Structure 1
Amino acid sequence: MSDANAVPAGYMQDAEGRLVPADKVKPQHVLEDQMVRELAALAEEESCRLAALKVNIKTSVDAFVELVANQYGITRGRGRGNLTLSSYDGTIRLQVAIADFIEFGPELQVAKSLIDECLTDWSAGGSAELKLIVNDAFRVNKAGQLDKDRILGLRRYDFPDLRWKKAMEAINDAIRVQKSKEYFRLYRRGGADEDFRQIPLDIARV
């Protein structure tokens, strides 16, 4: 990454690292460079403030839940799972959500084979719709990734066929949690008869 501070006075550095005399650069390009740098500095400052806000929210929530737990003689920290906290008048809501990022292990291929066996044997029973659902679940997207939600959604179907049940067990065993991420969302409303509106912390939603 180029270091703008290392560029000699009277020069500008282009995208290929070459030094160009500033008076040879078009005025609009100089202005564009200045504007982008100023806005990037402001964005980086705001990003640091948002990071500090997230730490503040997490620390406060963890301390509060620990306090509540102590009231019941429990000293351990809060476990996994979603959590909602509200202001006393019900106009402000804080939601804490845990999202797992998962991948599938080799058991998924076993599950697919068992499901294919079921669909082949059931084809005479008019299960075309189910076959479409299954094939759609195992179809990869443009990035070459499987749709995890659709695959996991197959577990909603409870068929008596032992092969199907084993396939669902294989899907469960195939789940590999790579990482978990905690999300904080704040909502506010004017009164009890109004809908909650999320306080936007995403620049695209402001």
Structure 2
Amino acid sequence: MNQNTNIQTVPDGIDVINGKPYMADAKGSLVPVEMIKAEAKLEDQTVRKIIGYASDLSDQVARFKGHTFEDLSTLEGLLAEKYGRTKGGSKGNKTFMSHDGLFKVLIQVADHIDFGPQLQIAKELVDECLNEWSAESRPEIRAIVTRAFNTDKAGQINRSEVFMLLRLEIEDARWKQAMTAIRDAMRVVGSKTYVRCYQRDTYDGPWRAITIDLAKA
């Protein structure tokens, strides 16, 4: 474009060039608006409208999370000043309750667990057990083992199924050695803190989660 070109960007993804409206396509090329099908323009407007609401909501959730941790930190600071200790449970998990018992806020710390090379040794020992037990081994145990050591699309081990192996009560010495290898393979590579809010109608009623997750709303 030459130096005399006048470009003006207006809302809804439209660029006005020398007084004529254009919209960019997926390749970055500018297309005159009058050449774009009505249904394509309607889809564009709908998507931009939804994204606008989603962006605003995302910002609100981020502010809510920040204010929540700030408020609870202030409360804990006051408690620590008065009692010389902070509120909390194992691994940093904490519960804050309203005086009437109808509302509570849970702070939960979840560890991110990865597995070291000992996991391969555990798999070899488990395979030995299954091959020797042959027909005697229960099919549900084989199914758990298969799911546990199969990797997902991201190449990650199925952690929940690995943990299920640890809960099985099997007396074979090699199996026990395999479970020890799994425990030795487990290592915490990080953690994430979650805040969850609950309410109930009566002091002895069931708790209901106050949903913030869009998929569960």
Q: What is the TM-score when the length of structure 2 is the normalising length?
A: 0.77
1:52 deviation in Å? Answer: 0.8
- The answer to whether the Cα contact below 8 Å between 1:186 and 1:199 also exists between their aligned partners in 2 is yes
Q: Deviations over 1:138-176 (max 9, x none)?
A: 233455432111112222234444433332221112123
Amino acid of the structure 2 residue aligned with 1:91: L
Amino acid of the structure 2 residue aligned with 1:128: R
Q: Deviations over 1:22-68 (max 9, x none)?
A: 11112332233233223312211111110010111122223323433
Identity %: 41
Work out the CA distance in 1 between the residues paired with 2:208 and 2:99.
17
- The answer to whether the Cα contact below 8 Å between 1:100 and 1:180 also exists between their aligned partners in 2 is yes
Work out the CA distance in 2 between the residues paired with 1:185 and 1:7.
47
1:76 deviation in Å? Answer: 10
Residue 214 of structure 2 corresponds to residue 203 of structure 1: yes
Residue 201 of structure 2 corresponds to residue 187 of structure 1: no
**Counterparts in 2 of 1:78 and 1:84: CA distance versus 1, 3 Å:** closer
Amino acid of the structure 2 residue aligned with 1:20: V
Higher-Rg member (1/2): 2
Residue 90 of structure 2 corresponds to residue 97 of structure 1: no
Work out the CA distance in 2 between the residues paired with 1:54 and 1:200.
14
**Structure 1 gap ranges (5+):** none
**Counterparts in 2 of 1:200 and 1:7: CA distance versus 1, 3 Å:** farther
Partner SS state of residue 91, structure 2: coil
**Counterparts in 2 of 1:74 and 1:96: CA distance versus 1, 3 Å:** closer
Q: Report 1 or 2 for greater relative contact order, CA contacts < 8 Å, sequence distance ≥ 6.
A: 1
| Correspondent of 2:163 among 146, 149, 152 | 152
**Structure 2 gap ranges (5+):** 1-8
Residue 97 of structure 2 corresponds to residue 86 of structure 1: yes
| Correspondent of 1:175 among 168, 171, 186 | 186
| Correspondent of 2:137 among 127, 135, 151 | 127
| Correspondent of 1:52 among 22, 47, 63 | 63
